[in-house]
Amino acid sequence: MFILSDQPSIANQFLAELRDMLTQQDRMRFRKNLERLGELLAYEVSKTLSYQTKEVQSPLQSVQMELPVDQVVLVAVLRAALPFYQGFLNSFDQAESGFIGAFRQEDGGEIGVNLGYHASPRLDNKVLILIDPMLATGTSCVTALNTLLEHGTPKAIHIVAAFAAPEGVEYLSHHLNLSYSLWLGTLDEKLNSKSYIVPGLGDAGDLAFGEKL
Ligand code: URA
């Protein structure tokens, strides 16, 4: 598991602004900070791709460079993932994209996940990056991944989140019977009784886009 905030960096500034009750009210800044975290995590994930030596001709000379060859598929869990996903798209220019609409459903006190919408390209032999900014219980991530795997078998699976709770990380480890890598902006303390990450930041979707009905 990779955690960006384990090493002090400018990422901590972005994470702090996302959490801060005053700064997070600026929707444009909130979305921008998620996007910037997405770019930083995309850079980290990019180190795990396959590379091939290719010749590049500059105006002055040709040069051999190691360039990525994997076909990357980015899948965003709607709606909160959109700004975070944009950060990945800024780095993986030619990636294919998929979208999954997961919403929390309270059923007799139990919080379940309903996948309202999903669209994905074929995944066989591609590098799948599942993008959900808030890894809380882990249920939406597992449900999303199980649905996605009906579209083929990726060569690698990366799950990325800006904020995570230990309960979510643990849930993935018990419910995903496959090999995956987990990339986090930061790992928080716990979940509260309403399955919000603590200290977390509140509701990422509402902060990015406004409250929904
Ligand atoms: N989704 C959010 O937006 N926030 C949380 O704390 C957990 C899930």
The structural domains of the chain, ordered by start, are 2-209 (3.40.50.2020)
> Is residue 42 very low, low, confident or very high in pLDDT (cuts 50, 70, 90)?
very high
pLDDT of residue 105: 66
- pLDDT tens by residue, 159-171: 999 999 999 999 9
CA dihedral 146, 74, 179, 167 (to 10 degrees): -70
What is the token pair recorded at 5?
A: 């905030």
Is residue 109 pLDDT above 60, yes or no? Answer: no
Does the beta carbon of 200 sit less than 6 angstroms from any atom of ligand 1?
yes
Å from CA of 213 to ligand 1 middle: 17
pLDDT of residue 103: 73
- pLDDT tens by residue, 140-149: 999 999 999 9
Residue nearest to atom 7 of ligand 1 (CA): 196
- pLDDT tens by residue, 182-202: 999 999 999 999 999 999 999
Q: What DSSP string describes 105-136?
A: EEETTEEEEEEEEEE----TTSEEEEE-SEES
Is residue 111 pLDDT above 60, yes or no? Answer: no
Q: What SS3 state is found at 206?
A: helix
User: In terms of Cα–Cα distance, which of 86, 92, 106, 96 is closest to 35?
Assistant: 86
Residue nearest to atom 5 of ligand 1 (CA): 196
Å from CA of 197 to ligand 1 middle: 6
CA distance 13 to 5: 10
Q: What backbone phi and psi angles, to 5 degrees, belong to 156?
A: -150, 150
**Model-wide pTM > 0.85:** yes
> Is residue 112 very low, low, confident or very high in pLDDT (cuts 50, 70, 90)?
low
